[in-house]
Structure 1
Amino acid sequence: MDADSEEDAVMAVDVLVETTIHRSPAEVSAYAGDPTNAPTWYANIRSVEWRTEPPVRVGSRMDFVAQFLGRRLAYTYEVVEWVTGERLVMRTADGPFPMETTYTWEPVGEGGTRMTLRNRGNPSGFSRVAAPVMERAMRRATTKDLARLKETLEP
């Protein structure tokens, strides 16, 4: 399957969660869009190490280590889209579960931000069979992660 048709394929796992944070999109995106901060607000992420020099830009690569459903997962994300203060898209460059993560930040209300976090992927092998369980677990985890981010950033 070529890259275009692969991107167009229906993802077996597709989780979208959102929250409103009472801080500006510039502040929320500066913090949440910096992978170095991920272990502070993602419960399952244990560490992040840059393969390329910060700051975030298209082509940046970072190694993540996570604990999910009792398993240690190590994978490399590559930034494929970066619109400062609006959107960040990262895809796994390698790892056990091909994944795309998208953050968006939109102004809402008086100085607030609506942040969405979307994780889509196509598990293979055993992971494909477990996709419905993984999707529910990812939804619970990312909902908690956004709540933790909100708590971290709001005064």
Structure 2
Amino acid sequence: MTIDVMAERVIPLPPGRVAAYAMDWRNDAEWTQGIREAVLTRESDGGGFGVGAEVTRTAYFLGKRIDYVLRVAAHEPGRLLDMVSVAGPMPMHVTYTFGPHPDGTLARIRVQGDPSRYYRLAAPLMARKVRSSLGKDLRDLERRLRARR
């Protein structure tokens, strides 16, 4: 069973501001559920953060510590951040998109994964938990950004 979950939220702030904060790995632990730490462990070929860069995240999911590495597959500042796991408990694909909306920014997060071994039995629970977490992530993103005005 594969997991394919998406959440979206209209955030009443300009797209550039929302995307800049959300796409900065240094902010991951502030607004992303379960992430305790995020570290840039490989820079892009051009240096810094971009296609080819890798971020190692330490998270807790269902009470278990999970360390995983996401490699940036596509990066369009202000609009798109697409990452694939290159190390961790399961293959995963995470996509963030940001676009203009009459009321601000339409922010979307999509997570696709293929639970294997231990996680395969928990796939239905994981899908529900991921969906709930993504919704909370977007609420927290909005709350953080509004507090920083």
Report the TM-score, using the length of structure 1 for normalisation: 0.88
In the alignment, what sits opposite 1:95?
A: 88
- How far apart are 1:126 and its partner, in Å? 2.5
Dislocated runs of 4+, deviation >6 Å: none
Report the Cα distance in structure 2 between the residues aligned to 1:17 and 1:55, rounded to whole angstroms.
28
* One of 9, 13, 23 as aligned partner of 1:19: 9
Deviation for aligned residue 1:125: 1.3
2:131 paired residue among 101, 114, 139: 139
Q: Give the Cα separation in 2 of the matches to 1:129 and 1:116.
A: 27
Structure 2, unmatched stretches of 5+, are: none
How many matched pairs? 144
Partners in 1 of 2:66 and 2:55 — Cα distance? 14
1:21/1:153 contact within 8 Å kept? no
**Partner secondary structure for residue 47 of structure 1:** strand
3-state SS, counterpart of residue 129 of structure 1 = coil
Cα deviation, residue 145, structure 1: 1.1
Structure 1 residue 52, shift from structure 2 partner: 2.4
Query: Partners in 1 of 2:130 and 2:33 — Cα distance?
Result: 11
> 1:76: Cα distance to partner?
0.5
1:116 to partner: Cα distance: 0.3
SS at 2:120 equivalent: helix
Q: How does 1:55-70 map to 2 (within 5 A)?
A: 55-70=48-63
Identify the residue that residue 41 of structure 1 maps to in structure 2.
31
Correspondence list, 1:113-128, <5 A: 113-128=105-120
Identity %: 38
Cα deviation digits, residues 7-37 of structure 1 (max 9, x gap):
xxxx710110001111111111110001110
Q: 50, 75, 79: which one pairs with 1:86? A: 79
